[in-house]
Chain A
Amino acid sequence: MSLLTPDIGLLFWMLLSFGIVFFVLAKFGFPIIVKMVDERKTYIDQSLEAAKQANTQLLGIKEESEKILTEARNEQIRILKEANEMRQKVVGEAKEQAQIEAAKVMEDAKRNIEREKMLAMRDAHSQIAMLSITIAEKILRKNLENKSAQLELVEQLIDEVQKN
């Protein structure tokens, strides 16, 4: 049957056509496409890998930054605490100092007042003495203006002396 016997002419044309198709496509067609697809695949794989690495790095950085942040926060707390302590200490010290100072001032003031008082008292005493002398003088003078009075006094004084 002619269907099952290959025709020599068609065999020839087929060999020629397929040979050319094979040659051209195997040289200029498929290798380029497959190569490019492979290259793209490599590129994508690399990009993915790079992205993954970047992600990991980012995660590391994030962790680190968090760590730094926590540290900073702790430091802040510590500094604040220290400052507070310092402040309290300083304030306390100042208070103490002030108290001491105040006490000293008070003491001084007291002493001054005392002295002033003493001086004033002494002054007053002498003044009073002078005054009383003057008054006494005046009174005496007045009282002793007449003879009787002078005699009376003398008598009185003598009484007194006698009494003593």
Chain B
Amino acid sequence: MIKNNIHRILLLLVAFSLSVSTICAEEEKAEINVRELILDHVGDAYDWHIATIHHQLVSIPLPIIVKGHQSGWSFFSSAKFHHGHEAYKGFYIAPEGDYKGKIVEWVNGEEVRPWDFSLTKNAATLVMSSLVLIIFILICARWYKKREKTPENASPKGFIAFVELVIMSVVNDVIKPCIGKNYKRYTPYLLTIFFFIIFNNLLGLIPIFPGGANITGNIAITCVLALFTFVIVNFFGTKEYWKEVFWPDVPVWLKVPIPIMPAIELVGVFTKPFALMIRLFANILAGHAIVLGLTCMVFLTVSLGTAMNTGMSILSVVMTVFIDCVELLVAYIQAYVFTMLSAVFIGLSQVEAHHAKH
């Protein structure tokens, strides 16, 4: 049975890659720019491009919200740009330059960025996924709320049991050991980032609408996440934590007259969340880039002949499947790591006086 299925899947892969290569052979006469294509896919966009069928772009227009330096607030659909070919109200998508792909306006003979709060592809996905995540968790919470009076009956089955398993594994294996005794206060935040990251990571792996947007691989997103951790770490830090930053337990000559250690510690305060930001961003971005690159292999090898192209296509599909599986793992690991490191940093900011420890 299984062997049969494997054969069938392999045949399907071959057929699929053959059909893809023939389509490409027909359509892609021009060289494709892989770098451009990947950057385009992992980046943001003003409209949600779903597919291109017979040279016709199928996309969902998204709302554009901009405040020009002279014209004030404008609110219109991205369809007005006609996929970047036309200007509207003095705004247009820069075809090249520093602001390539972004909305710009022409002020005093210079191309400048207006205040751009457009609901871009990433922003739209973000809003949507946030809503879904809220509903999803609230449904689970409602199940518990219904049974609040009778804790003996509140052992869920099926899906909610699985969610509970994930939640409690994060609480018991990550939050509790990393923070210590005050862990209850930070549990909601850490669970929120865990679920937010893993949910958006997984959503990004779905290649078709409504997934595919590279949310957690966008630096703005990870920046805000890291910012939240930074604020919580430093806002709720104990006196001992600040003492360790500005007057650490090292020989005096390292602190006075040149505050070497305090400077290092102070830099550390900022590098910790910075590392969080870069780690998540780079991992997810790289994952998307690899999948896209491997998929592009199909189109790049068209010029090498049918046999070579078929072989490479099969290889490409197999490799893409493999990398996608790895990415599933990475989606979990990155959410886990971000949560764990946030917990560790919070735990470090909760230090008690040394004497109490020993």
Please list the residues of chain A having a beta carbon within 8 angstroms of any beta carbon in chain B: 2-15, 17-18, 20-22, 24-34, 36-37, 39-40, 42-43, 47
Contact = CB atoms under 8 A, between A and B. Distances in A.
A150 B273 CA distance: 181
Interface in B126-181: 126-127, 130, 133-134, 137-138, 140-141, 144-145, 147-148, 151-152, 154-155, 164, 167-168, 171
Interface string B107-118: 000000001111
Contact of B123 (A10, A39, A42): A10
28 contacts: A6-B219, A7-B120, A7-B218, A7-B220, A8-B115, A9-B65, A10-B123, A10-B126, A10-B220, A13-B119, A14-B123, A14-B126, A18-B196, A21-B134, A21-B192, A22-B228, A25-B191, A26-B189, A27-B188, A29-B137, A29-B188, A30-B141, A30-B187, A31-B188, A32-B148, A33-B141, A36-B151, A39-B151
Contacts of B65: 9
Contacts, number: 141
Interface centre among B100, B141, B154 (most CB of A within 10 A): B141
A9 B123 CA distance: 8
Interface centre among B118, B154, B192, B285 (most CB of A within 10 A): B192
Interface in B274-325: 285
Nearest to A8: B116
A18 B225 contact: yes
A30 B224 contact: no
Given A21-B133, A36-B151, 14 more contacts: A3-B42, A3-B285, A7-B120, A10-B218, A18-B228, A21-B192, A22-B228, A24-B138, A25-B137, A25-B191, A26-B189, A29-B188, A29-B192, A39-B154
Interface residues of B, number: 54
Contacts of B118: 9
B122 interface: yes
Main secondary structure of the interface of B (DSSP, over half): helix
Interface string B218-240: 11110111001000000000000
A14 B119 CA distance: 11
Contacts of A36: 144, 147-148, 151, 154
A12 B123 CA distance: 9
B102 A2 contact: yes
A33 B191 CA distance: 11
Contacts of A22: 188-189, 192, 228
B43 interface: yes
A14 B191 contact: no
B196 A21 contact: yes
A106 B224 CA distance: 129
A27 B117 CA distance: 28
Given A22-B192, A26-B188, A5 B219 contact: yes
Contacts of A40: 151-152, 154-155
Contact of B224 (A4, A14, A32, A42): A14
Contacts of A32: 141, 144-145, 148
Nearest to B277: A6
B44 A29 contact: no
Nearest to A29: B137
A47 B152 CA distance: 10
A64 B351 CA distance: 54
A12 B192 contact: no
B168 A37 contact: yes
B155 A10 contact: no
B101 interface: yes
